[in-house]
Amino acid sequence: MRIAYQGEPGAYSEAAALKFQEAADVIACASFEAVFAAVESGRATHGILPIENSIGGSIHRNIDLLGEHHLPIVGEVELLVEHCLLALPGARLETLRRVYSHPQGLAQCEQFLRRLSGVEIVATYDTAGSAKLIRDGALADTAAIASARAGEVFGLDVVASGIQDYAANITRFVVIARQDDATLTPDKTTILFALSNEPGALFKALSVFALRDIDLTKLESRPVRGRPWEYMFYADVNIARQDMRCARAVVHLAEFARWVRTLGSYSRAAEDAPPSSEK
């Protein structure tokens, strides 16, 4: 198995890929679009994408890309994320003038960052990539928010660890491939659908799941590109697409939705026991 991920070595996406398949080869990609391209071209058998964080919320770009491409979701991974403040050897917290990280990393460490005085916060393309920028530029007055492994990869010291706002900081990733994996037993399904703008349309859509006692675990609205003020809905349900209740719910939904598309039916992530206390 060869899994493409966005970021540099030491990125959380790399860790999630290896959690999904410990023996996998991993391919670093510069962007989320490049992950899709690697799978579509056959350079990778699978791709892994962060879709949601328990502190920072949804990664909307990846929800949109799942709708734009036709690569099914075949699995998911939940990763407990512990952020570290990394800097060149010898750097001290009081000498720092800038902190780099991906916007999600910054959002997950807001309380820690508010306590820093006179420090510029700079959004970058990747958490581990921020560590790479500091090493490559020999930036003695700059730190990165990234994983401890990123510090090891790029020769940076850990100035502070566990700096995320909450101990239970979990990112959920989805795994994509060119075709469904018939060897797995799915118990979760992701659906994309669009509705006409009329009273009760969303109520009717959600009722097809409620009437069949189907657990709806996520619902997200996204704008339809090129059609101002029209929206599509991304939904996760805890049931296999092949289950008769789910099949009937989707058929029922299609009776009044403008369109319905199943993005994948797959096995839910194994649940770890995350820390429950706030920091």
Q: Which alpha helices (DSSP H) does the chain contain, by range?
A: 12-20, 32-41, 60-68, 103-107, 110-114, 127-137, 148-154, 201-210, 244-254
171 among known catalytic residues? yes
Eight-class DSSP state of 251:
H
Determine which one of 171, 189, 193, 233 is catalytic.
Answer: 171
Which of the following is catalytic: 20, 32, 36, 173? 173
What is the Cα–Cα distance from 153 to 146, expressed in whole angstroms?
11
- Cα–Cα distance, 61 to 51 (Å, whole number): 9
29 touches 195 (CB < 8 A): no
95 in catalytic set: no
Distance CA 58, CA 250 (A): 24
φ and ψ at residue 13, rounded to 5 degrees: -65, -35
Residue numbers annotated as active site: 171, 173
